[in-house]
Chains A and B, each alone.
Chain A
Amino acid sequence: MSKKLPRRDVVIVGFGWTGAIMAEQLTAEGLDVVALERGVWRDTSTDYAVTNAQDEVRYRYRDELFEVLSRESLTFRNNTSQDALPMRMLGSFLPGTNVGGSGVHWNGQTWRFLPSDFQARTHNEERYGPLPEDMTVQDWGITYDELEPYYTQFEDICGIAGKAGNLNGEIQEGGNPFEGRRSSEYPNPPMEMVLAPKLFAKAASELGHNPFPGPSANMSQPYTNPLGVQLGPCTYCGFCEKYACGNYSKATAATTILPVLMRRDNFELRTQAMVLRVLKTGDGRMADGVEYITPEGEVYHQPADIVILAAYITHNVHLMLVSDIGEPYDPRSGEGVVGKNYAYQVTSGVSVFFDKDVHINPYVGAGALGMVIDEFNGDNFDHTGLGFIGGGYIATWQTNGRPMETHRVPEGTPKFGAGWKQAVRDNYNHSLGIGTHGAVMSYRGNYLDLDPTYKDAYGRPLMRMTFDFGDNEMKMSNFLTDRAVEIARAMNGREIRVARRTRPYSIVPYQSTHNTGGTIMGDNPRDSVINKYQQSWDLPNLFLTGAGAFPQNAGYNPTGTVGALAYHTANAIRTQYLRSPGPLVQA
């Protein structure tokens, strides 16, 4: 039996990037908000001190900031003919588990999707004809223009460093000429580049591409955001993604929102509060709050008028499934929506090796320090005859020279032993990487449901992930890799090494924490879980934030769009829902 607590206006499940955004927005509206976070409070000054945050063993390889699988994990298989097995150790993706969530240890590559990405089905079918039968790509039910002000809002909160390529329809020199219309310049100028991205940009320009600085949440100068919170300049420490910033230089919930939010009397944060399920009212038509458990084993019922799931996509989908909200997706019939259209990111890389007189000094880096080309993203190029839709960006990000994680060796190097050791020594400081970052379309057979066998520490079934890359992704990724090889050759190094992405998708090597879908957005309840305000079609006082909304993934990192959608939702709650609580879009 759970203890029932006093009712609140809003309960937020998960206090990461979007949980903090929603809490700040709704407390500003005067609502009484409580956030429940399964992890603990962390302070920059005490927990991420600049003198000891740079520890590969502790953070990257022993997972100090990542989620704890002994509490809850998921099972995985490539297709329905296999038995799913539990993810026993983290690998392919690394979600966070404390205040700030995955946003604590993200890179900060902060993108907008292309206008055509939001119309993926209509746009591609109009231009190239019908999509393959098993491809379940959908339009989002929201347009780029609707989201534009909220992209700006998120970028201003973060202090994104970048160069506009399209200001109110005018193409700008030095920015991304393919991006959608921006209403204003980035709040900070681009980061100053180190050698490797400069070499990339020079080679890409020679090939006729338009390289530009990647939009970065690592501060290029001191910055005070619209909430009055101050960030310091990035010191290029090279312990950025998978690590927390000790310098208050990476935009995270803690460095942009919490100093203001935590002082508000109408906000309360409870840590080590693991939410087990969403509760429904007796008639099953509204969410009645949530049930959570503390480390002492006490179970509470926190009732609230509005429930917001901000627990990261995988946990949002799991909570929907274990709470029996909406119809679970069935890949055989194609019916049902919860768990539908799970997607991811397809990446590949090319290494370039230089002679010993070129010192790349890879440790002078930052999570979002890089030069990018966007010629082959989305529908920025003609796909006629190519046999695939979508695309991705190609970049040299100089993120780190952490020697365990980043020691490139040329083709033909022995796996271990004297030859390997010599190759590491000869190439560590004389090589760089080019990465491709591609879209993943959605398919009938890629989905999330509950596992029939494995349970978590609370007795709930684990979520089961069934996923593989499709033919579209393989062709597209190979195409992008070929373009990256051309750029690599044009850098005139000593030699190159190509690492293509192969099938089957493996849950072992880290690829990206860009999981998407499962609680997808759309314009009607038959093929989506939420409307464009991220409001559940089933329970109108339930809202979901995060990349679960993406009907398929685009060729960019997700968080710019995740942040924009959160502000868009907050605005709809503030200006529409509070006035007349109920569905914001009629089904």
Chain B
Amino acid sequence: MHLTRRALLTGASLIALSSTALARTYIGGVPWEPEAANPPQVFDPSARFFTSGERDFVTAAVDRLIPEDEFASASQAGVVTFLENQLSGAYGRGDIYYMHAPFSRGEPSQGYQERAPAILYRQAIADIAARLQADKNKTFQELSEEEQDQFLLDLSNGDVELEHVDAKTFFDTFWQDTQLGFFGDPVHGGNRDMVSWRMVGFPGARYDYRPYIDHNGRELNFEPISVAGAISQGGKS
């Protein structure tokens, strides 16, 4: 059983939202409100962004990026669930990004010049399927592991011509999001049972290391904890 404060957290978040929606004036004191809080948003296990065909590609690809060993692969760690949540929400829509036209591809030093991430993913996955169909008459999942790795490497170098989107931009975005799902707090749907934190030895959401300042290079061995209050169960990787 994981200990979680989810019920409490989601209830309180409604209050936080409504109290900051309008312009406000503050005079004569610090506007602290009892019980107002801005807790983590917990992922929705039923969130869906990918079609089943897209999900098959994404699952296969993230598991080449972070394959299984003694520790879970990306998809085993929940990275696909993480991506479904991210892409069906504010991140996918690009709510906080500058998304005004005109769009054009500049120099790498000028950064991301694609449309919102949800559009980028959808388009890139379709373009990749079309490319592989045309070149090899196969889906990504039908390639051997070596061929899959080579294809991902080519994408990362921008050596694959995709019809609508920049291959390297897609790879960079996809790889960053995959790592984020793997290393991020489990509250967002990935890093199941804090597997990546146990893998590297990161204690998670602790906040007081004063007793360990003079650790002098010795191993500290913390069990990780998540911002949702859950404690890793150790157990199978």
Q: Which residues of A contact B (CB under 8 A)?
A: 40-43, 45-47, 49-58, 61-63, 68-70, 73, 76-78, 82-89, 91, 192-195, 233, 235-239, 246-247, 258-259, 262-265, 267-273, 294-296, 357-361, 363-364, 401-404, 407, 415-418, 421-422, 424-425, 428-429, 453-455, 504-508
A454, B153: Cα distance in complex, Å: 34
Cβ-defined contact, A455 with B23, below 8 A: no
B46-54, B130-138, B159-167, B193-201 - the one binding chain A: B193-201
Known: A52-B40, A82-B107, A85-B104. A195 touches B203 (CB 8 A): no
Interface centre among B183, B199, B220, by most A CB within 10 Å? B183
Q: Does B122 contact A (CB under 8 A)?
A: no
Q: CB-CB < 8 A to A73: which residues of B?
A: 98
Q: CB-CB < 8 A to A265: which residues of B?
A: 27-28
Q: Does B235 contact A (CB under 8 A)?
A: no
Interface centre among B67, B96, B219, by most A CB within 10 Å? B96
Q: CB-CB < 8 A to B113: which residues of A?
A: 85, 88
- A-facing residues in B56-100 (Cβ within 8 Å): 64-67, 69, 71, 90-91, 94-100
Cβ-defined contact, B200 with A429, below 8 A: yes
Cβ-defined contact, B200 with A195, below 8 A: no
Known: A46-B36, A88-B112, A364-B213. A258 touches B30 (CB 8 A): yes
Cβ-defined contact, A506 with B30, below 8 A: no
- A-facing residues in B159-190 (Cβ within 8 Å): 175-176, 179-180, 183-185, 187-188
Known: A360-B217, A506-B111. A56 touches B185 (CB 8 A): yes
Q: CB-CB < 8 A to A53: which residues of B?
A: 207
Nearest-Cβ distance from residue B42 to partner chain A, whole angstroms:
11
With A357-B217, A417-B67 given, name 10 new contacts (CB 8 A): A40-B20, A46-B33, A78-B109, A82-B106, A83-B104, A88-B99, A271-B25, A359-B215, A416-B152, A416-B175
Q: CB-CB < 8 A to B214: which residues of A?
A: 192, 194
Contacting B111 at CB < 8 Å: which of A54, A82, A88?
Answer: A88
Q: CB-CB < 8 A to A504: which residues of B?
A: 107, 109
Known: A46-B36, A428-B201. A403 touches B183 (CB 8 A): yes
Q: CB-CB < 8 A to B29: which residues of A?
A: 262-263
Cβ-defined contact, A76 with B110, below 8 A: yes
Nearest-Cβ distance from residue A350 to partner chain B, whole angstroms:
20
Q: CB-CB < 8 A to A418: which residues of B?
A: 67, 69
Nearest-Cβ distance from residue A129 to partner chain B, whole angstroms:
33
A273, B22: Cα distance in complex, Å: 10
A267, B31: Cα distance in complex, Å: 13
Query: 23 pairs across A/B with beta carbons < 8 Å?
Result: A54-B205, A55-B227, A61-B184, A70-B98, A77-B106, A86-B98, A88-B112, A194-B215, A236-B212, A239-B207, A262-B29, A268-B26, A271-B24, A271-B25, A272-B24, A358-B217, A363-B202, A418-B67, A425-B71, A428-B201, A505-B109, A506-B109, A507-B111
Cβ-defined contact, B32 with A68, below 8 A: no
A264, B26: Cα distance in complex, Å: 11
Q: Which residues of B contact A (CB under 8 A)?
A: 16, 20-33, 36-41, 64-67, 69, 71, 90-91, 94-100, 102, 104, 106-114, 149, 152-153, 156, 175-176, 179-180, 183-185, 187-188, 196-197, 199-210, 212-220, 227, 229
Nearest-Cβ distance from residue A359 to partner chain B, whole angstroms:
5
Q: Which residue of B lies closest to A266 (CB)?
A: B27
Cβ-defined contact, B40 with A262, below 8 A: no
Q: Which residue of A lies closest to B213 (CB)?
A: A192
Q: CB-CB < 8 A to B107: which residues of A?
A: 77-78, 82, 504
Q: Which residue of A lies closest to B152 (CB)?
A: A416
Known: A235-B209, A364-B209. A269 touches B109 (CB 8 A): no
Cβ-defined contact, A85 with B91, below 8 A: no
Nearest-Cβ distance from residue A227 to partner chain B, whole angstroms:
14
Cβ-defined contact, B23 with A272, below 8 A: yes
Contacting A429 at CB < 8 Å: which of B41, B99, B102, B201?
Answer: B201
Cβ-defined contact, A41 with B26, below 8 A: yes
A524, B79: Cα distance in complex, Å: 58
Cβ-defined contact, B110 with A85, below 8 A: yes
Contacting A68 at CB < 8 Å: which of B27, B96, B202?
Answer: B96
Cβ-defined contact, A43 with B32, below 8 A: yes
Contacting B66 at CB < 8 Å: which of A54, A236, A421?
Answer: A421
Nearest-Cβ distance from residue B199 to partner chain A, whole angstroms:
5
Cβ-defined contact, A268 with B27, below 8 A: yes
A73, B175: Cα distance in complex, Å: 25
Nearest-Cβ distance from residue B83 to partner chain A, whole angstroms:
12
